[in-house]
Amino acid sequence: MVSEREPITNRLLLALPPATLARLTPEMELIQTESGAVIDHVNGLIQHLYFVNRGIVSMVKVMRDGRSVEVGAIGVEGITDSNALFGVDVAITETMVQVPGSALKISRTFLSRELERDRDLRRMMERYWRFAFGQLAQTAACNRLHTLEERCCRWLLTSHDSALADTFPLTHEFLATMLGTTRSSVSLTAKVLHRAGYIDYVRGIITIVDRPGLEETSCECYAETTTEMNRLFGPETQPGG
């Protein structure tokens, strides 16, 4: 059951009708998510889904030579493995916690049954699935067309939104995975952003100092994603909104 000590901040849940949320709440378990924890392994059977309540969970594709790259990220706007609700039984990527926080764990079987009986829930989940698919396309275009500095700013802003704090754990190794580049390249970019006064970082801890500066330097993808989220969930579901 959801703890009263940590309110629901997941935007997908907050956008549901009160009656729908009331039925889901007793079936959800609040868990703490630790950086680096693997929620789902590639080709593993999906038994539970996780509404991210705080932090960032990433879908990571690992190649044969051990290199890996993020192909999607889920923050407080979403749920892991949403395709499992539409017939996909096994995980197609590795799902890993990148920014620690918390999540609301729910049985895939229970949620699938609710989708069959609750039209409002199904409609919202279908809309979210289309949004998530659109974000995959957005990220693919972003990785191909935008500079590392622009993409780094975008990802830091996204992390800031879902960490629900100005300071949060984020190592250069994880950031390199998110951006599909090397740790040394990330370190150089972080130094540029630090000199500009946008961030501070020490021993795997990032502090957002100048958010407007990051927004100005970021590529267009962050603003477009934010607009789509507000259209889908309503601006009132934003953390602090």
Confidence band for 238, pLDDT divided at 50, 70 and 90: confident
Q: Which CATH number covers residue 223?
A: 1.10.10.10
Residues 85 and 201 in one domain: no
Residues in the chain: 241
Domains identified in the chain, total number:
2
Residues 208 and 180 in one domain: yes
Give the tens place of pLDDT for each residue, 197-235.
999 999 889 999 999 999 999 999 999 999 999 998 888
The pLDDT score that the predictor gives to residue 74 is 94
Cβ distance 58 to 177 under 8 Å? Answer: yes
From 113, 135, 157, the end of a domain falls on 135
Report the chain's C-alpha Rg in angstroms: 17
Is the pTM higher than 0.85? The answer reads yes
Round to whole Å and give the CA distance between 81 and 51: 10
Give the tens place of pLDDT for each residue, 156-177.
999 999 999 999 998 888 888 8
Residues 81 and 25 in one domain: yes
Give the tens place of pLDDT for each residue, 71-80.
888 999 999 9
Give the tens place of pLDDT for each residue, 45-94.
999 999 999 999 998 888 888 887 778 889 999 999 888 888 888 988 89
The pLDDT score that the predictor gives to residue 2 is 57
Domain of residue 188, residue span: 145-229
Q: Higher confidence at residue 178 or residue 144?
A: 144
Q: Is the pLDDT of residue 4 over 80?
A: no
From 77, 110, 135, the end of a domain falls on 135
Q: Is the pLDDT of residue 241 over 70?
A: no
From 135, 154, 170, the end of a domain falls on 135
Mean pLDDT of 109-135: 93
Residue 113: how many other CB atoms lie within 10 Å:
11
Tell me the average pLDDT of the chain. 91
Extract long-range pairs of 62-68: CB within 8 Å, 24+ residues apart. 62/94, 68/94, 68/177
The pLDDT score that the predictor gives to residue 84 is 86
Residues 15 and 128 in one domain: yes
Give the tens place of pLDDT for each residue, 181-192.
899 999 999 999
Q: Is the pLDDT of residue 138 over 60?
A: yes
The pLDDT score that the predictor gives to residue 134 is 87
Instruction: Establish how many alpha carbons lie within 13 A of residue 138's alpha carbon, considering only the half-sphere containing its beta carbon.
Output: 20
The pLDDT score that the predictor gives to residue 156 is 95
The pLDDT score that the predictor gives to residue 72 is 83
Residues 21 and 93 in one domain: yes
Q: Is the pLDDT of residue 240 over 80?
A: no
